[in-house]
Amino acid sequence: MAALLQLKDRIIGSIMGVFIGDALGVGVHWQYDLDVLERERGFVTDYLDPLPGTFHSGTPDAPAPGTLKAGQLEQQGVIDKLLLESLATYGALNQSDFLRRLEDTILLGDSTMDGTRQGGRYGWTDKSICDIYKARIMEGKPWEDCVPPRSDTPDSIIRAALIGALYFQTPREMAVQVQTHARYATMDSSVQSHAVAFASMVAATLDADLPLDDTLSTALYNQAGKALPFSTMYSSKDNDPTYGTYSEPDSMLWFGQIAKGVKANQDYLPSKAHRGVLLYGQFCAFFASLPSAYYCVARFPNSFEDSILCSINGGGQTTMRSSLVGALVGAKVGLQGIPSRFLQGLEDHEYLLALASSVADVAVARSNSSDAWNWPRNNKDGEHGLPVGKLDKNSEQRIDGNLNAIDSIGGWHFRGDTPFSLSGFGKYNPDGSDGRLIPAAFVLGVALAFLIPSAYKRGVRSIASRRRSHQYEVIA
């Protein structure tokens, strides 16, 4: 029971992280000059009203007339809320219902919407929403013809986290639903792929409580071609009728590369962590928002407060980037790891908590033996189903530690009492069991590694000896 409650807490934490990140970012949204930001605001630690003349302030000199206050959601946050309401109502993704809510609330329900960036009550309207408004409302097109062809913002990647939280136990279905949802937001296949990858990261963190470091990407890579619809060099499967054509797995590896870089370069990282956002980009496109979010998570993988304040104080696209950070770290630390001021200061937080709790109840009950994660098992405690990188707190044994080393890509591992016990060398079988057969190629490789240098040295000595003999004969 305690484990179930903790799991629900982490699901709720991930969901609430999306909205906390969005609302925290409103007060400093799209302010790129960090020197000015620090001079005017210091180090931001809470919700703020936008300053006069900035986005969402509503003052005459602001970029747009809409006004928001501290703790409120901007337009994309409100759209995230519409999806959460739909997920809580149906206990599943109902894309038609979500689109109806989007049309009624954003496209038609806001009388100030006019298809321009300055339109709408939120102080700015993203181009992707402007494009949808023009196609759906002004031109009367069906939804399938309203998809922006080149939108590269991460809004659908953020909403993928909500879907990932609901479907965290059924990765195949999760990937299909995330792709279905993303395809109504953009035709950009890269965004769609990253949406599935990000949802997978959230879901895997929830399902296996994996650490937010490079082992998360490793674990996901090992699911490619099996539980997840990504192609790899180790799997010949690259498509299926339900999902379609698989993407390359790079979108799942991106976070791991950044996390590894952060870990390996501690001495060279900015002393002010938020300044590191500049290394990855402050702008809106997913190829800046995602890596800068991953950087903040990698800097503070076990602290919701530190990671999200890293994002908020990094400037630029603070709302979406911080939603990404909040979703991922929230899945790790749970609601209990989120400072109370971030909850109390969020508008409609009780309503959002109720929706998140409803989704969590459905999520923990959703399972399918034919659609499940294929985590490798600890050979000594197989019933636990521990994935690579997880700490078995009963035995205090790290599966990826010195006693059980792994090769992250191939899935090879040592399963012996010492790090060099060949008797335990094997490969994970498709069912998660521990293969004990040493491959012939490995045995041959080991033999050649010893025999070839030895033969080479003997050959060199023999040739040298013959040359010396020949030399003496000539001289004589």
Same domain, 450 and 357: no
* The two three-digit tokens of residue 284, written as one number: 């809106």
Looking at the domain assignment, is residue 406 inside a domain?
no
Using the 8-state DSSP alphabet, how is residue 384 labeled? G
Closest by CA to 16, choosing from 390, 317, 308, 313, is 308
- Distances in Å between the Cα of 244 and the Cα atoms of 96, 149, 195, 239, 387 are 21, 19, 15, 5, 27
- Distances in Å between the Cα of 308 and the Cα atoms of 7, 282, 299 are 21, 14, 10
- What residue type is 195 in one-letter code? A
Looking at the domain assignment, is residue 393 inside a domain?
no
pLDDT for residue 453: 52
Same domain, 358 and 472: no
Looking at the domain assignment, is residue 113 inside a domain?
yes
Q: Quote the pTM value.
A: 0.81
% of the chain beyond a pLDDT of 70 = 79
- Distances in Å between the Cα of 214 and the Cα atoms of 3, 99, 220, 232, 389 are 25, 36, 10, 18, 10
Looking at the domain assignment, is residue 429 inside a domain?
no
Residue 247's beta-bridge partner residues?
Answer: 230
Are 238 and 246 spatial neighbours (Cβ–Cβ below 8 Å)? Answer: yes
- Last residue of one domain, picked from the residues 338, 365, 392: 365
Same domain, 344 and 452: no
Looking at the domain assignment, is residue 422 inside a domain?
no
Residues with Cβ within 8 Å of residue 222, at least 6 apart in sequence: 374, 376, 388, 411, 428
Looking at the domain assignment, is residue 40 inside a domain?
yes
Closest by CA to 372, choosing from 430, 434, 428, 419, is 430
pLDDT (average), residues 180-199: 97
Q: What is the enclosing helix (H) or strand (E) of 427? A: strand 426-427
**Reported confidence tier of residue 436, pLDDT bands at 50, 70, 90:** very low
* The two three-digit tokens of residue 309, written as one number: 């304040």
Average pLDDT, the chain: 84
DSSP alpha helix (H) spans, 92-236:
95-102, 127-133, 155-166, 171-182, 189-208, 214-221
Comparing 7 with 476, which gets the higher pLDDT?
7
Closest by CA to 393, choosing from 6, 12, 8, 11, is 6
Count CA atoms closer than 13 A to 41's CA, side-chain side.
25
Residue reference for tokens 């979108």: 251
- Measured CA to CA, the distance from residue 133 to residue 253 in angstroms comes to 35
- Last residue of one domain, picked from the residues 315, 346, 365: 365
Count up the domains in the chain and report the number.
2
Same domain, 236 and 117: yes
Residues recorded for the chain: 476
Least confidently predicted of 240-244, 348-352, 465-469: 465-469
* 360-403 per-position pLDDT tens digit: 999 999 999 999 999 986 433 333 334 444 433 333 333 333 22
Same domain, 322 and 464: no
Q: Domain range spanning residue 322?
A: 2-365
- Last residue of one domain, picked from the residues 365, 385, 404: 365
